[in-house]
Amino acid sequence: MSPTKMPTERTVTLKDVAEHAGVSPMTVSRALNKPATVSETLRARIGASVESLGYVQNLVAGALASAGSNVIPVIVPSLSNSVFVEVIAGIQDVAQAAGYQLMLGNTEYDLDREYGAVSTFLGWSPPGMIIAGMRHLDRTRNLLKRWGKPVVEMMEYGTQAIDMNVGLSHYKAGETMATHLVTQGYREIVFIGCRIQADYRAAQRYKGMDRILARHGLHRREPISYDGPSNWALGGDALMDVLEATPKVDAIFFANDDLAVGAILRAQREGVAVPKRVAIAGFNGLGLADLVQPGLTTIMSPRLEIGRVAARQLLDRFAGHTPAKRRVDVSFQLQVRGST
């Protein structure tokens, strides 16, 4: 682990600072962590010593001694989906301002890797944890429950939360969009996404849609799922594929806006009339959805908000408060635009 071991001068420790300032180590520790409890005189002297010795607190030792770090692990299934990035940015906003560091785990939609990440992160004695989704391996759930510290499951709103929960119902979102499409008169609707077997939130949107189609006695199709992470170009390809394979499709509900926007741009380029030939709908409410032509009908999900709320729920608990709600439904909003 140690790189080219040069004859590095010994690291400066608390003790060194203490000696330099002529006080006890404990006083230095306090001056650094709870300045209010140290007299102004000493605080200044210690500050000067810290400065002149170039002392950097060893947070590892601090975390061990006090049995707790200020690191908050955040576990997400993907970084290539812009949604998670925005959520992370929201968490960062709040957490960093409160003096917490984020540690990032990426599971690539693999529940075993998720377990690994959780279990590794627990080893950092974090004061709490944020994890995307509510579907985990049993042992993951058990581990977190036994752990007993605050845990926020985000992105999805559900009843079986391990501890706290912030998100929205993807099933309802699917229902909402499908209802809209059916109301508009579309009859041959298909759902297109990526890694749907793993991305069960997308799958739930599909199921919500499917239920509505069933209720209206419409043609129900299996979702179309592509491998690999979603990206803009893929949406366009998917559009062309489905139009060729299933010409009578008159509406597509994409699993996310990245795909849907890609499809609209491609349609424009290929001269496919949207929504006349085929309607296109997405999910997320990316800023871009409003800029393409026609505007993309989508479901707005408050991504930054989810992140911020998740972080605040944790911070509340750290502070000893019981948060107003253990479960927050941030809800969503259907945004109808030209594409349907």
Partner DNA sequence: GCCAGAAATGATAGCGCAATCATTTTTATG
Partner DNA sequence: CATAAAAATGATTGCGCTATCATTTCTGGC
CB of 33 to DNA, least distance (A): 5
Closest C-alpha among 77, 301, 71, 62 to residue 197: 77
How would you classify residue 253: left for phi > 0, otherwise alpha for psi between -120 and 50, otherwise beta? Answer: beta
Per CB under 7 A, the segment of 18-26, 102-110, 130-138, 205-213 that binds DNA is 18-26
Nearest-CA neighbor of 279 among 209, 167, 184?
184
**Residue 137 binding partner per list DNA, its own copies, none, with a CB distance cut-off of 5 to 8 Å that depends on partner kind:** none
The residue whose two tokens read 């085929």 is 278
Q: How far is the CB of 249 from its own copies (least distance, A)?
A: 21
Near its own copies in 97-126, by CB under 8 A: 101-106, 119-125
Is 44 a binder of DNA (CB under 7 A)? no
Task: Verify binding: residue 220, its own copies, rule CB under 8 A.
Answer: no
Among 48, 64, 89, 233, binds DNA (CB under 7 A): 64
Q: Which stretch binds its own copies (CB under 8 A): 1-9, 187-195, 249-257, 332-340?
A: 1-9
Using CB under 7 A, pick the residue from 6, 8, 9, 37 that binds DNA. 37
Alpha carbons 20 and 14: distance in angstroms, whole number: 10
Residue 194 identity:
C
Q: How far apart are CA 139 and CA 58, in angstroms?
A: 33
Assess 273 for contact with its own copies (CB under 8 A).
Answer: no
315 near its own copies, rule: CB under 8 A: no
**333 DSSP β-pair partners:** 300
> Which residue's CB is nearer to its own copies, number 181 or number 272?
272
Report yes or no: 126 and 69 within 8 Å, Cβ to Cβ.
yes
Closest to 196 measured CA to CA, from 174, 177, 223, 158 = 223
Under the criterion CB under 8 A, does residue 141 sit at the interface with its own copies? no
